[in-house]
Amino acid sequence: MRLMLVIGAVMVAIVTVVATSGVSQVVNNQTGAAGGAGVLRMSCNASIGPWDAGGGDKGRHDASRLNDEQRNIVAQIISIGQQRELPPLAWQIAIQAGMTESGLRPLNYGDRDSLGIFQMRPSMGWGTEAQVVDPVYAINKFYDVLLKVPDWENRRPGDSAQAVERSAFPDRYHNWEAMAAFLLSELGQIADPAGCGAGAGEFLVASNAAGVAIEFTKQQLGEPYLWGGNGPDAWDCSGILVKAFGAAGVKIPRVANDQYEKGGAHLPVRDAQPGDLIFWAYNTADPRSVHHVAMYLGGDEYIHAPQTGDVVKISKMNWNYHELMPMAVRPGV
């Protein structure tokens, strides 16, 4: 679980933790609506979302197994993150780290001298024994270290958790990605942690960013192809799309096969709408073999930067071409 996430220019909400059936929930004094304008927002990071495209059921199931103590720790992580004006991605990372290290419990034991929610070691400079078992101290300390991790905003959440924790088992933090995202929605009232828009499973609503991205790309018509080109006067097939969606506040990965796998929501290529990305691969069963990407314009046309010696142009679709990937990608949702 990835894209610098920029905190939206909105008023900072006053956060209150209230008890509901013995479990703390984080609410906003300005609005109770999920993802409302009173909560700190961030621009879309499509490489780490959307969260409801395949992980929603797992997240809900994992969260249902938490007890009141664990959920209260989650509420503290979210509340402190809001008080510090950190984006929801930071809360996500802390929840995944805490669940992995301690099961979201302020443990007074651990490997060697590891203690607390994040199994911080006093011998390694994390604080005194009394401090690292105190949830408020531990959460703030975790955030302090996270903010010093280079480019943490653009990484998958589990990778940022690993950068703080430096575990011998770095991949285990990803196990709780769906659960942490679900808890941001349930307790933090952030329905869309990636900031990429609403959706409904694999088939998502149209992107609000599509129009901006299409207009940007059309403005580059006639510009030459350059392998690795990022503009402003020469482009390759994936580079132009990074800039196009960047103009709309949506971040997607740089390379075509990463754009296919992590650039947004998948939908059948025959259902592609203007602004969706379409792909070609040497082996359509292997996303790693994707070698070209374009933006669908509708009307059986797409715009792309084709190859060396060519220019950004509009071409006609061949829906039966054997290298056309069966799924399109919709950034921004």
Decide whether 15-186 matches 210-330 in CATH topology.
Answer: no
Tell how far CA 168 is from the center of its chain.
24
Q: How far apart are CA 66 and CA 81, in angstroms?
A: 20
pTM of the model: 0.53
Peptide bond just before 87 cis, omega within 30 deg: no
CA angle 266, 198, 27 (to 5 degrees): 140
- Scanning the structure block, which residue is given the tokens 């911080």? 120
| Domain 15-186 coded CATH 2.60.40 | no
Q: Which residues contact 175 (CB under 8 A, 6 or more apart)?
A: 100, 158
What letter represents residue 112's amino acid?
Answer: R
How do beta strands 250-251 and 44-45 pair?
parallel
How do beta strands 23-28 and 15-20 pair?
antiparallel
Each residue's pLDDT tens digit in the chain (333 positions)? 333 333 332 233 323 333 333 343 443 332 222 232 222 333 455 555 444 433 567 788 899 999 999 999 999 999 999 999 998 889 999 999 999 999 999 999 998 999 999 999 999 999 999 999 999 999 999 999 999 999 898 788 889 999 999 988 888 998 898 889 889 888 887 766 655 554 433 333 345 678 888 889 999 999 999 999 999 999 999 999 999 999 888 999 999 999 999 998 898 999 888 889 999 999 999 999 999 999 998 889 999 999 999 999 999 999 999 999 999 998 876
Question: Dihedral sign, CA of 133, 65, 13, 49?
Answer: positive
Check: CB of residue 122 under 8 Å from CB of residue 114: no
Q: What is the 3-state secondary structure (H, E, C) of 112-177?
A: CCCECCCCECHHHCCCCHHHHCCHHHHHHHHHHHHCCCCCHHHCCHHHHHHHHHCCCCHHHHHHHH
Q: Taking the CB of residue 313, how many other CB atoms lie within 10 A of it?
A: 15
Q: How far apart are CA 191 and CA 146, in angstroms?
A: 23
For 4-62, give the DSSP string. Answer: ---B-S-PPPPEEEEEETTEEEEEESS--STT-TTS--B-EEGGG--TTTT-HHHHHHH
Please list, residue by residue across 150-189, b when 16 or more beta carbons sit within 10 angstroms of its beta carbon and e when fewer do.
eebbbbbbbbbbbbbbeeeeeebbbebbbbbbbbbbbbbb
Rounded to whole angstroms, what are the CA distances from 195 to 160, 174, 204? Answer: 18, 19, 14
Q: How far apart are CA 187 and CA 93, in angstroms?
A: 15
Q: How far apart are CA 250 and CA 246, in angstroms?
A: 5
- List the one residue out of 80, 82, 156 whose CA is nearest residue 118: 80
- List the one residue out of 238, 251, 235, 243 whose CA is nearest residue 213: 243
Domain ranges for the chain: 15-186, 210-330
CATH architecture of 210-330: Alpha-Beta Complex (3.90)
